[in-house]
Structure 1
Amino acid sequence: MQYRHRLRSRIIVSFLLLGFGLTALFAASVLFLRAEMEDELVESWLRREAQNFAEFKRENPDPNAPYELSAQGIEMSVFRPDSPRIPFEWRDLPTGVYDYKDPLVPGRAGHFKLAVERYDDMVVFVRYGYGSRTLDQQQLYVTLAVSIVLFSAVALAFGLWLSSRVMRPVTDLVSRIRAYRGSEMPEKLAPRFADDEVGELAAALDEYAERLTERVQRDREFNADVSHELRTPLAVIRGATELMLSNPDLAPKMRERLERIARAEQQCTHLITALLMLSRNERGSGRTNLFQLAEQLAEANRIQLAGKPVAIRVEGDREATIDAPEAVVSVALGNLLGNACRYTAEGEVVVRVAADRIEIEDTGPGLSAEDAARLFERGYRGSAAGNTKGGGIGLSIVSRLCTLYGWQVGIAPRQDRTGAVATLVFQVSRSPDGA
């Protein structure tokens, strides 16, 4: 699982985004309110200055009368309404405050506000250059940027600390669950956690584990009982057929039927052994000659062809052996071979035995890409199944056995002619020196 998808990383990123978002929103609000309020205050102040200057001039008409300015950067001038000395761009301005840019002064230093107050006897102009505030604004921007970074770092640190505290019970729960892996009856989790959401999750897991353990135990007991109960009548059948086959005066037809019963008993015994291993999820021990087993299975399928014009040949390495119980290999190989014989109406089925694999080629109708991808699904029989018998379980059992033993199995269309190729690749054991 990637780190960005973990719950703890989501908590950390959420706090980081929350801290950054709130701080950035606060900074934007400060800048907006500062600009709006400052403009309103400056314009109101300039209007008052213009009005005060007009009153001063009425009381002191002497052009040289001193007037004390209230701030630096402010310039005041008064004209008669019809005076030609009024700058051309200011001449028709009504009473109010305006923003101007001096074209002779570069940068923001040339920006100024102009307050105009018109009276019947005079026009007052108050010019205030606010380009000097650029440095103060830059300092404000730097301060706000540092604040955003600082508060984002604090939010990140708080997110790391809080996520660690929040996720500690969950991490502890995961560790305890992993420690119980393989236990027959795991210890209860709920008593080890507080009565909160994690405790509720632990209690739910305890209940689920209890039901699952009970079900697994019941399935194992059922499989063991079925295996034991079926082996007893199969042993009786095997003993009876062996005793009857030992009679030299037995008719050929009867001998053929008894041999068929013996093969069916052996097949049932192998199937029971393989299913029991699957239910227990454990590998058995043994060593199997692949060529001999393939010959036995080929002979059994020849008898079951019921007169179909199909030849079964076994070729390849006669000494090929693998470390696996004969029952398991027989079930896997028998299902693949039986499947090839069942769907081949005429032609041949060739079993090629190698040291690490067995290939089964047939001349049947072949299979589509969808069938090749889904043949090993439980209950899937393929589009060419037709009226053939079967529940689509055999190849599913083969797939499960291959998963248990680390083998590989697959069925694909033949390239040279109509038909299919089933391949069963075994896990080859190597000596320490690599031979």
Structure 2
Amino acid sequence: MQATDPALARLPRARRRLRTRIILSFVLFGFALTTLIAATTVYMRNRVESNVLGAALEKNNNMFAEGFYRNPTAVGIPFEKIQGRQFSTRKLDKVPPEWRDLSNGVHDVAMPAQASGEPRVYKLAVRKDPDYWFFLAYDIAEERESQQKLNSALVASVGIFTVFSLLIGWWSAARVMSPVTELAQRLRRSGTSSSPEALAPHFPEDEVGELAKALDDYAARLTEVVQRDREFNADVSHELRTPLAVIRGAVELLLARPELDERTRTRLSRIQRAELQCTDLISALLLLSRNERAVGQCDAARVAQQLLESHRAQLAGKPVELRLEGAATLPLDVPESVLSVALGNLIGNAVKYTPSGEVVVRVLANAVEVSDSGPGLSAEDAAKLFTRGYRGTHAGHSQGGGIGLSIVRRLCALYAWDVRVRPGDGRGVVATLTFG
């Protein structure tokens, strides 16, 4: 069964399982924490190393300059991994091009090594006096290499601790979710019986135990409601069928009397049709309340003809023509009462909302189509047509509680049928009941 309903189009979004969320939380927390520690370690190492080396180079460069002023004949001061050079401001062309524009202070400079020609990275301390420029270069290639090794180790540690967090999260999720999984399994097993098993005694006094108690309470209340509903349906079915059977018998006896005038006979026939309609409706509602399909057979064409005859007798001078077209027979494996209720509501609505014109019932290969020449179908009606209690915009002061099409929708869902209502080609409405 399909009907126009905007609420059905809003499907809930897919959600992750609770176990997956717990595992992801551990993984993300472990990854974020180890990444933060690694980044902080690299930052602090670089900062401390830069500050210590910079201060040492500036101090040594100043000592180099003061030593030069004390003994200008010295070419340079040999340090381990440190090279000091001074240049006269009259011979700045001898200053390496990479050093000329540097300001006083400590800079990172890349220069090719004289032996291998590969680029080497230096910390270069610069001091520019009016007469001389002093440079102190410190080779930090080994420090850079050790820094790269440290970074690789930190990246590896991030990966290791992330995997470790995944394992911890997996184990923790299994421990946390095991009582919830057990609760779900017990609840699934208890749902197959009319008297569900109590869940709370199987769980400790914790959050899962509280949930089990709430489910037990809900199951008890739901079982009580279902039992009341079943008893009510059985009582109503029995108590209504008895007076209806009495009415049927009395009407049949009265109709058998030959001295009845035509007016009385017409009224008795109307009572007989109303009794049959009530009996069919009770049977259909009882099936819906039990959510079970009844076994039977009927001919859709014959049922449609009977329904048209019944409505034709109730027109009371209303200028509406009722017509049956299409196939002569359409056998169905369904009780006649169910088809009468479903098809009768469609025909009844067509007759009710057609002030003048015609209502045509067409028996197709696997469906019955009901079309009328009424005022048509508005957008609001199309959206809410099968909603329980909704009465169309053209209902006016007509009788009815707006549950007829809701019953049709439920019967279609029970028997895997399809009902569609659409505007007619020129005017009116076309309702199609397709059988599965």
1:101 paired to 2:112: no
| 1:172-183 matched pairs, under 5 angstroms | 172-183=182-193
1:19 paired to 2:39: no
The equivalent residue for 1:422 is 431
The separation in 2 between residues aligned to 1:338 and 1:75, in whole angstroms, is 106
The separation in 1 between residues aligned to 2:204 and 2:118, in whole angstroms, is 65
Residues 217 and 123 of structure 1: is their aligned pair in 2 closer, same or farther, counting only changes over 3 Å?
same
| 1:166-245 matched pairs, under 5 angstroms | 166-245=176-255
Assess if the C-alpha contact under 8 Å between 2:342 and 2:411 holds in 1. yes
Letter in 2 for 1:40: N
The separation in 2 between residues aligned to 1:121 and 1:413, in whole angstroms, is 101
The separation in 2 between residues aligned to 1:122 and 1:335, in whole angstroms, is 109
The equivalent residue for 2:340 is 330
Per-residue deviation, 1:194: 2.5
Letter in 2 for 1:400: R
Per-residue deviation, 1:372: 2.2
The separation in 2 between residues aligned to 1:246 and 1:412, in whole angstroms, is 44
The separation in 1 between residues aligned to 2:110 and 2:331, in whole angstroms, is 99
**Which residues of structure 2 form unaligned runs of 5+?**
1-11
1:74 paired to 2:89: no
Alignment RMSD (CA, Å): 3.0
The equivalent residue for 1:43 is 54
Letter in 2 for 1:114: A
| 1:12-411 matched pairs, under 5 angstroms | 12-50=23-61, 69=79, 72-77=80-85, 84=90, 97-101=105-109, 109-114=120-125, 116=127, 125-411=135-421
The separation in 2 between residues aligned to 1:151 and 1:115, in whole angstroms, is 44
Assess if the C-alpha contact under 8 Å between 1:50 and 1:117 holds in 2. no
The separation in 1 between residues aligned to 2:328 and 2:196, in whole angstroms, is 49
Number of matched pairs: 419
Q: Secondary structure at the match of 2:226?
A: helix
Per-residue deviation, 1:368: 2.0
Per-residue deviation, 1:145: 1.5
Assess if the C-alpha contact under 8 Å between 2:280 and 2:341 holds in 1. yes
Per-residue deviation, 1:73: 1.3
Assess if the C-alpha contact under 8 Å between 1:100 and 1:114 holds in 2. no
Per-residue deviation, 1:168: 2.0
Which shifted more, 152-161 or 327-336?
Answer: 152-161
**Which residues of structure 1 form unaligned runs of 5+?**
428-435
Assess if the C-alpha contact under 8 Å between 1:365 and 1:418 holds in 2. yes
Per-residue deviation, 1:319: 2.9
Residues 387 and 2 of structure 1: is their aligned pair in 2 closer, same or farther, counting only changes over 3 Å?
closer
Per-residue deviation, 1:355: 4.4
Letter in 1 for 2:238: H
Choose between structure 1 and 2 for higher RCO, CA contacts under 8 A separated by at least 6 residues: 2
TM-score normalised according to structure 1 size: 0.86
Per-residue deviation, 1:302: 0.6
The equivalent residue for 1:431 is none
The separation in 1 between residues aligned to 2:110 and 2:32, in whole angstroms, is 38
Assess if the C-alpha contact under 8 Å between 2:76 and 2:83 holds in 1. no
The separation in 2 between residues aligned to 1:66 and 1:274, in whole angstroms, is 110
The separation in 2 between residues aligned to 1:149 and 1:104, in whole angstroms, is 36
Residues 45 and 103 of structure 1: is their aligned pair in 2 closer, same or farther, counting only changes over 3 Å?
closer
Letter in 2 for 1:423: T
Residues 4 and 150 of structure 1: is their aligned pair in 2 closer, same or farther, counting only changes over 3 Å?
farther
Residues 420 and 54 of structure 1: is their aligned pair in 2 closer, same or farther, counting only changes over 3 Å?
closer
Letter in 1 for 2:433: L
Per-residue deviation, 1:68: 7.1
Letter in 2 for 1:242: E
